[in-house]
């Protein structure tokens, strides 16, 4: 009888633990995975070989809305921080401001080249993109030694 009272509590505890571990930050990728393309949500990080790449923000977004015909495609500027994957370390970090249309579209730091491939969501004339809704698709390539 006593065991049956603890079972619902145990089930709830297990469900809470399972739901909180669905997304880990930072997400770890191999060099091969990162060389293809990976998605980083704004405010989140990825790690490739001990190098952490954090997508800080979209500083500017002048891209043409997808439901409008424009003369110019516009541009999105995404800012990334690149450093050692060690929150307690006082190692230097590097700031990369990369663009979707203008230059630079890629930057180098910590022995890697980070290439901005795409910023999502694409703008629409009928809605505003909230700062926390952005994600960036990047390619991370190891530079030759």
pLDDT tens, 55-105?
999 999 999 999 999 999 999 999 999 999 998 888 899 999 999 999 999
In a domain, 17, yes or no: no
What pLDDT, on the 0 to 100 scale, is given for residue 37? 97
In a domain, 5, yes or no: no
In a domain, 125, yes or no: yes
In a domain, 82, yes or no: yes
Confidence of residue 16 (pLDDT cuts 50, 70, 90): very low
What pLDDT, on the 0 to 100 scale, is given for residue 5? 53
Percent of the chain with pLDDT over 90: 78
**Residue 136 and residue 61 in contact, taking contact as beta carbons nearer than 8 Å:** no
More reliable by pLDDT, 23 or 121: 121
Domain containing 106 equals 24-142
What is the number of structural domains in the chain? 1
What pLDDT, on the 0 to 100 scale, is given for residue 114? 99
What pLDDT, on the 0 to 100 scale, is given for residue 106? 99
**Residue 51 and residue 84 in contact, taking contact as beta carbons nearer than 8 Å:** yes
Predicted model pTM: 0.82
- The answer on pLDDT for 47 being more than 60 is yes
In a domain, 18, yes or no: no
In a domain, 103, yes or no: yes
Residue 69 token pair: 């015909």
Over residues 22-35, the mean pLDDT reads: 87
- Give the integer Cα–Cα distance in Å for 42 and 99: 15
φ, ψ dihedrals at 18, nearest 5°: -65, -40
CB atoms closer than 10 angstroms to residue 38: 18
More reliable by pLDDT, 40 or 25: 40
Residue 107 token pair: 């930057």
**Mean of the per-residue pLDDT values for the chain?**
89
Q: What HEC string does the chain produce?
A: CHHHHHHHHHHHHHHHHHHHCCCCCCEEECHHHHHHCEEEECCCEEEECCEEEEEEEEEEECCCCCCCCCCCCCCEEEEEEEEECCCCCCCCCEEEEEECCCCCCEEEECCEEEEEEEEECCCCCCCCCCHHHCEEEEEEEECCC
In a domain, 47, yes or no: yes
CATH assignment of the domain containing 36: 2.60.98
In a domain, 137, yes or no: yes
Confidence of residue 145 (pLDDT cuts 50, 70, 90): confident
SS3 at position 66: coil
């Amino acid at each position: 009888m006593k065991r049956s009272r603890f079972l619902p509590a145990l089930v709830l505890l297990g469900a809470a633990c399972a739901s909180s571990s669905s997304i880990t930050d930072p997400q770890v990728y191999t060099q091969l995975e990162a060389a293809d393309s990976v998605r980083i949500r704004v405010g989140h990080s990825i790690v490739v070989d001990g190098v952490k790449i954090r997508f800080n923000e979209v500083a500017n977004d002048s891209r043409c809305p997808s439901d409008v015909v424009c003369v110019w495609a516009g541009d999105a500027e995404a800012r990334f921080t690149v450093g050692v994957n060690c929150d307690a370390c006082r190692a230097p970090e590097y700031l990369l401001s990369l663009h979707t249309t203008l230059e630079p579209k890629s930057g180098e730091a910590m022995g890697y080249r980070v290439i901005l491939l795409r910023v999502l969501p694409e703008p629409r004339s009928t809605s505003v993109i909230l700062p926390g809704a952005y994600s960036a698709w990047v390619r991370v390539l190891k530079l030759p030694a």
